[in-house]
Structure 1
């Protein structure tokens, strides 16, 4: 659905995006994450043909250029702030873009905007404007949706509603590229994670692979903790113990299972220690900075 190949973006002769390549498949929800100033919004603007770039960008196999936006006909976007006309009502803003009145009404209902959709949008709160911007991005069943901080200003109920709406559209084949600092919310829906820093992609993985590779420790629950402790100690395998439960490094779990089989010991449970997603991202960024 979307493919970037060796894309560079310069602003005032300063390289903001540095040789970025990635692709997004239909129905996937890609989280574009990174620290402030990493280049997330610039990548989104570049995809939309709003900045000059070198390299290749294509949407549904149609090339994107700075002056030819034909390929963007099936793309919905919310970048930085909702692009709404303040002296029009919310409904009038939607009518400007909508091809199908039923689609418009459906989004108004799902996003719970019925009570204020016919009021001038200049009086909307931040959250109300944000929901209107999301509705504009989702009009006409786009094949690709680009959302920059879509949860900004939303309360808990609206956040859940938007998350469910994104999942619904993705289930129907719409691809999403979403930037958000609220990683706990993004983690609940994304199928692929792209982490960038200083304009470069440093992680690009399916979320399942990312989670598996970044679980550092595992819980072991055993029937005979005394024998287990003696066995691990004798084979110089580091561990932490809490009664019948042990914590071991993920790199040792295959060796441990072989030892258990050899000594006829049985595992009651083997599971990764739940790691905070934000902590994983911070650790990866720290490692990347040290290596640089």
Structure 2
């Protein structure tokens, strides 16, 4: 607890083995009401196992989960039923029911059903049987089922799968709107370029361990800036800069200088070699680059 407030989610010492394989190793993290958390990591890192543990869908070998201060396990998950909405792995859809009927199974409020259908722009097909839905339509229905009861915590596993760019943008806007009203989100996604637009905090998981939990502000403060240079002769430019001891590599049609350097001497080195410079700009690492670097450093 912090400042006398109960954390939305508190995970302590979570461990899980499947056979001989240790999937979760003493996982610890916590976050507060209204936060939008990104849970990221390579395939097989343990993200879905953590989400199932939070929902009380999977028995853990050790550790505990609390949501709003109440314990969650396979035998104790009243708080999950009342306060949590989730889409994990894939939507649980009955092919012969319409989308509207699926949502009616989740809530008695027709007003809430109308709200979520409109928010996700599902009006054109919501009364069709779900067996006639495309992948994107099914994904939207799964998200709608997670949101329709206005839960205090929403857990979404790869929610952008199958969505077109317009639907992804609309989902981002809706998550931001609901988070502003106090809904907490835990989102796992491999589409990090989209995820970094909406999350406040990132939790990086690898091989069942939490490598870091940082706010996006903290993460941006630790990002590296690269200098991007394009010339008329990149291959020769690369050799000239390497001979001058610059930390440089060629990627595609650009030369990337990976550590802070004084710009004027670098450009003078190229010009003195009679290499024409076409473009120079600075690029800050994005979320994907930072996380891949952190994973690589861990394995080095």
Tell me which interval the TM-score lies in, with the shorter structure as reference length. Answer: 0.7 to 0.9
Shift of 1:198: 0.2
Residue of structure 1 aligned with 2:170, choices 158, 161, 167: 161
Equivalent in 57, 65, 73 of residue 65 of structure 1: 73
Instruction: Please report the TM-score for the alignment, with normalisation by the length of structure 2.
Output: 0.79
Shift of 1:286: 0.4
After superposition, what is the alpha-carbon deviation per residue over 1:10-36, rounded to whole angstroms, capped at 9, x for unaligned? 222432111000012111100000011
Q: How many corresponding residue pairs?
A: 249
- Determine the structure 2 residue equivalent to 1:187: 196
Partner of residue 148, structure 1: 157
Contact 1:3–1:59 under 8 Å retained in 2: yes
Instruction: Identify the residue that residue 287 of structure 1 maps to in structure 2.
Output: 297
What aligned pairs does 1:87-102 form with structure 2 within 5 A after superposition?
87-102=96-111
- The residue that corresponds to 2:262 in the other structure is 240
Within 5 Å, which residues of 2 pair with 1:1-292? 1-53=8-60, 54-72=62-80, 73-216=82-225, 239-242=261-264, 273-290=283-300
Q: Deviations over 1:149-200 (max 9, x none)?
A: 0000000110011111111110111111000000000000000000010000
| Unpaired runs of at least 5, structure 1 | 220-236, 246-271
Alpha-carbon displacement from aligned partner over 1:208-267 (angstroms, at most 9, x marks no partner):
001111235699xxxxxxxxxxxxxxxxx972315899xxxxxxxxxxxxxxxxxxxxxx
Cα distance in 1 for residues equivalent to 2:152 and 2:291: 29
More displaced 10-residue stretch of structure 1: 66-75 or 197-206? 66-75
In the alignment, is the contact (CA less than 8 A) between 2:24 and 2:209 conserved in 1? yes
2:232 aligns with none
Secondary structure, counterpart of 1:152 in structure 2 = coil
Distance 1:141 1:46 in 2: 21
| Aligned mates of 2:298, 2:65 — CA distance in 1 | 27
Spell out, residue by residue over 1:96-120, the C-alpha distance to the aligned partner (whole angstroms, 9 max, x if none). 0013211110110111110100000
Q: TM-score, normalised by structure 1?
A: 0.81
Larger deviation: 146-155 or 165-174? 165-174
Instruction: Report the secondary structure of 1:214's partner residue.
Output: coil
Counterpart CA distance in 2 for 1:238 and 1:279 is 17
Asked if 2 retains the 8 angstrom alpha-carbon contact of 1:9 and 1:51, the reply is no
Give the Cα–Cα distance (whole angstroms) in 1 for the partners of residues 190 and 142 of structure 2: 18
Do the aligned partners of residues 196 and 117 (structure 1) sit closer, same or farther apart at CA in structure 2, a change above 3 Å counting? Answer: same
Contact 1:99 1:140 (C-alpha < 8 Å) held by counterparts: no
Which SS does the other structure have where 1:189 is aligned? coil
Runs of 4+ in 1 over 4 A off after TM superposition: 216-219, 242-245
| Contact 1:51/1:66, CA 8 A, preserved across alignment | yes
